Structure 1
Amino acid sequence: MSEAQPASDQRLFFLLQRAAHRLRTVADRRCLAAAGVTTAQLGALFAVRDQPGITQRELAHALGLRESGVTALVVRLAKADLVARRPHPREHRAVVLELTDGGAAALRAAQPEIERFNGELRGLLGDQGFTRTAAALHALAHWES
């Protein structure tokens, strides 16, 4: 079911959006089946794991999302017992997020699927192409125009 694109196709923004949508759809399906979480939820879980005591504001910044979007995401994660919200030790209106045992289990369950997905992308792009694409996408994700 592949659609061939002409080599001269220069609609990079369109192609990036289309590729992102396709990748997210496939990855969400696989991660939901493997671990019961979406890629957006996995991103939040990784950030909470890697930055213990992260606030919702810091999580929004880490994920490149608005705080309002992160609030709904954190509510879903807390209801699923994947993260716990605790009062911030110094800021009375803020909360800090901690990974629960359930969140850690979801990350472990998703890891084989993440590795399989990355392996398929490496097969498609080659090792060097994978590394270069990852670096280019990182630069684009942090681009300030």
Structure 2
Amino acid sequence: MAEPDQRLFFLLQRAAHTLRVAADRRCVAAAGVTTAQVGALFAVRERPGITQRELAGALGLRESAVTALVGRISAAGLVTRAAHPREHRAVVLELSEKGVAALDAVRPEIDRFNADLRALLGERGFSQTADALHRLAHWQG
């Protein structure tokens, strides 16, 4: 029997791609939003009035990527943009009613997706994987 692949970086990229494709398919079917959009909507819900710069930090993305993402979710009516009260170049983001409805619609699918991953990995494997990925996501390299 061949040894399991130990190229961790490659495996993480491959797993991330596989999971993103599967989760995107489910989220789009359930609520018409991608996982990237869901992540942004959750961040805006958690911090109403968040700026695009703060959103970029929360999502771990470049500001240019967040500008495009905010443009898409704003055009879809999922968030509203308003002038920042103190910074003339900044805008603040709030969830719209449509954004709240999208999160409500996608939440059961996210729960099912996590249940499927728990079934695949087992409860202990799921917890260990989540812990390891959390440490990797915050590693300073």
- Fold similarity call, TM over 0.5: yes
Q: d(CA) in 2 for partners of 1:101 and 1:131? A: 34
Corresponding position: 1:71 with 2:67: yes
1:59-86: CA deviation from partner (whole Å, max 9, x where unpaired): 0000000000000000000000000001
Residue aligned with 2:85, SS: coil
Which one of 70, 82, 86 corresponds to residue 90 of structure 1? 86
- Once the two structures are TM-superposed, the CA of residue 136 in structure 1 deviates from its matched residue by 1.1
2:34 maps to amino acid: T
Q: Residues 18-63 of structure 1: CA distance to partner in whole angstroms, max 9, x if unpaired? A: 0000000010011000000000000000000001111000000000
Gaps of 5+ in 1: none
3-state DSSP of counterpart to 2:13: helix
Task: Indicate which of 43, 46, 61 corresponds to 2:42.
Answer: 46
Q: Distance in 2 between matches of 1:131 and 1:89?
A: 42
Partner SS for 1:96: strand
Moved over 6 A (4+): none
Classify 1:96/1:6 alpha carbon distance in 2 versus 1 (closer, same or farther; 3 Å).
farther
After superposition, where does 1:1-145 map in structure 2 within 5 Å?
Answer: 6-145=2-141
The Cα of 1:142 is off from its aligned counterpart by: 1.3
C-alpha spacing 1:110/1:6, structure 2 compared with 1 (3 Å): farther
TM-score by length of 1: 0.94
Give % identity: 72
How many aligned residue pairs are there? 141
Query: 134-143 or 69-78: which moved more?
Result: 134-143
TM-score by length of 2: 0.97
